[in-house]
Structure 1
């Protein structure tokens, strides 16, 4: 049997791996044209972050990567951050969460790495023989009883037993088959941005910690990637989800009141940094005949909830395992897709609900809320807090089944 997977990000590559493990032939399509190291170097030179920013990878996805035999390769990209230091807009330290506390919260199973590095590991795991095509995507989808036809942007038509939409929050597959993005988008009141910078002096000053400058309605993170380079993680409240025509100008405007190393870093911001709205995607049903969604295309949990990459990898495993024992008929494939959704969706809905509840604490809108959050961060470093919070972060275990 054959599957067309749209999206060569974390969700798409993990899905392709598990489908291939189940005996399926896979073709992965990616609209982006970049390929591997050369394009990655070019992107870094331009100051952009291929694949986004640093993620704390733990929980169900961490367990899935271990079952894939890729844990050592993923851990090789660990930035080995020693903690998170919170600061005032002028750089005065206010609260700190040490790396040992973060490890306790994750059950000592955590790695901090760039999203793009996780993508590289997953892509390499498919091997050079894998059919991964860049610079092409779907323009029309025609599902039928005996398969699905996908017309591509290069004019060709591909046929398969299943189409997998793993192409992120702005999924083209979802738009073509399930309807416009507005039907599934839930804006959470903030914008986020990220870019690389090259400044050896600032990189040395950052050491091995993530530094978070915070003020009501805004926060800016800085961390070192190497002796000469660093990266930003920016998040600020915004009245609506409309993105600015000039994201660099918006960032310089929003963060103009902050000091420390941030003004110097903002001077190096590229014209088109990574910039997006913070939102969730909630799709009532994740599949149609011969078509299924996975990852952010159907269950983006947002920065507020975290673990988006982890949940994408875990969901890909469940999808692959459910499809492993099915046949080519539409009925059997449909039943497998229903089981996949039944297993994963309740966990996703719980994480999305938690993200919505904690949204006002992710970027506090007032000085009073900032003070409360700082105290909560101090308390979270205790062993008792780790025992209480760990199940909410990593998710429950389920009777020998993959943790999802």
Structure 2
């Protein structure tokens, strides 16, 4: 019998990780990605917890450590730039046995692609426009490539998943706005603080400057209600929303907003959870943020990597029963995802307090946190 074919939509973190493990179990994976190639930058993410043994088994941990950021702490500053609290970063503490790594998201994606590419068919600059499944396979229509048939399809295409929309239903039925928005952009040069993430708060707003790996990154995280008709691809709308949210803010905010107005590398989106009663329908399954986005303050990349191996191993263990494999994957991986989704609200309250009193209380408590750790 020829190897089973699996189409994976999404070439970020979950997609190439799944492709790697599927190939190791004898499947023929194809990854389709809307972008024209890998992005070279991105917000810092952590590889920790359940992702660590997976990354180690893939042999990519030495590379991840080579491109890791060198941040050691988060420094909270006031409007004049004076430090009012300093908190040790969990991924870089020197405690014995700590193997966690923080690195730019683009570097993590590149390492995963390099590990998977020899056994993966890659379709860049394309996307799925239609799926029709029957008892024996899935017929896929692409925007550019010729139609093809696959044994299985996995949507690893993020918060705004095309596969989820085509097979499970409209996005509004699954994506829950968490009352926050986030914008990030590169600053085009090194920070003057190579080891500290600088954080400035006003009520309901946060601005951070992360040194990353030489090209500093600015982040805006702020509270706001769901926006009717919000288009996650409308960059000019995103610029206006951020500028209005931060009008009148102090510290380096005017300078950073000016950079935001001109950058071609702005990322902006709602901070959201994805909650779906099922992660599979027929021969189509969801993985990573498409299935269970845990919000900005969760462990999205780590959970995606861990979930990829869980899904591949479940499919390998049930070679003639994809439904049983999908059930096993979902049962095992939901046990990891659930607590992270429930805990993200607490993280948001600490990083983006709603009131001046909340900011003062957070800063007071933060002064003692390093001593407790």
Return the TM-score normalized by structure 1. 0.84
Q: Which digits, 9 at most, give the CA deviation of each residue in 1:202-228, with x for residues without a partner?
A: x2x22321111111111111022455x
User: Is it true that 1:373 corresponds to 2:365 in the alignment?
Assistant: no
Q: Tell me how far apart the structure 2 counterparts of residues 273 and 147 of structure 1 sit (CA, whole Å).
A: 39
Q: Which blocks of at least 5 consecutive residues in structure 1 are unaligned?
A: 41-49, 387-404
Q: Tell me how far apart the structure 2 counterparts of residues 93 and 146 of structure 1 sit (CA, whole Å).
A: 62
Q: Tell me how far apart the structure 2 counterparts of residues 138 and 12 of structure 1 sit (CA, whole Å).
A: 14
Q: Which digits, 9 at most, give the CA deviation of each residue in 1:287-343, with x for residues without a partner?
A: 011111000001100013x2110001001010111112232x4xx111011000010
Q: Tell me how far apart the structure 2 counterparts of residues 348 and 312 of structure 1 sit (CA, whole Å).
A: 10
Q: Is the 8 A contact 1:59 1:109 kept in 2?
A: no
Which of 111, 114, 117 does residue 124 from structure 1 map onto? Answer: 114
Q: Tell me how far apart the structure 2 counterparts of residues 97 and 382 of structure 1 sit (CA, whole Å).
A: 9
In the superposition, relative to structure 1, how do residues 24 and 226 fare at CA in structure 2: closer, same or farther (>3 Å)?
closer
Instruction: Give the aligned partner of residue 288 of structure 1.
Output: 281
Q: Is the 8 A contact 1:101 1:380 kept in 2?
A: no
Instruction: Give the aligned partner of residue 393 of structure 1.
Output: none
Which of 206, 216, 232 does residue 219 from structure 1 map onto? Answer: 206
Instruction: Give the aligned partner of residue 225 of structure 2.
Output: 239
Q: Which digits, 9 at most, give the CA deviation of each residue in 1:346-384, with x for residues without a partner?
A: 22122111113543333111011112222332333234x
Instruction: Give the aligned partner of residue 18 of structure 1.
Output: 21
Kindly state the Cα deviation for residue 111 of structure 1 after the two structures are TM-superposed: 1.2
Matching of residues 337-376 of structure 1 within 5 Å:
337-376=326-365
Which of 162, 168, 171 does residue 181 from structure 1 map onto? Answer: 171
Instruction: Give the aligned partner of residue 162 of structure 1.
Output: 152
Which of 269, 274, 281 does residue 267 from structure 2 map onto? Answer: 274
Q: Which digits, 9 at most, give the CA deviation of each residue in 1:224-267, with x for residues without a partner?
A: 2455x311121001122454752223323322333333322332
Instruction: Give the aligned partner of residue 88 of structure 2.
Output: 98
User: Is it true that 1:336 corresponds to 2:328 in the alignment?
Assistant: no
**Paired residue secondary structure (1:285):** coil
User: Is it true that 1:307 corresponds to 2:299 in the alignment?
Assistant: yes
Q: Is the 8 A contact 1:18 1:317 kept in 2?
A: yes
Kindly state the Cα deviation for residue 77 of structure 1 after the two structures are TM-superposed: 1.1
Q: Tell me how far apart the structure 2 counterparts of residues 256 and 206 of structure 1 sit (CA, whole Å).
A: 26
Q: Which digits, 9 at most, give the CA deviation of each residue in 1:169-223, with x for residues without a partner?
A: 00000000000100001111011000011255xx2x2232111111111111102
Kindly state the Cα deviation for residue 12 of structure 1 after the two structures are TM-superposed: 0.7
Q: Is the 8 A contact 1:2 1:160 kept in 2?
A: yes
Instruction: Give the aligned partner of residue 262 of structure 1.
Output: 253
In the superposition, relative to structure 1, how do residues 258 and 206 fare at CA in structure 2: closer, same or farther (>3 Å)?
farther
In the superposition, relative to structure 1, how do residues 105 and 322 fare at CA in structure 2: closer, same or farther (>3 Å)?
farther
Q: Is the 8 A contact 2:128 2:163 kept in 1?
A: yes
Runs of 4+ in 1 over 6 A off after TM superposition: none
Q: Tell me how far apart the structure 2 counterparts of residues 336 and 100 of structure 1 sit (CA, whole Å).
A: 35
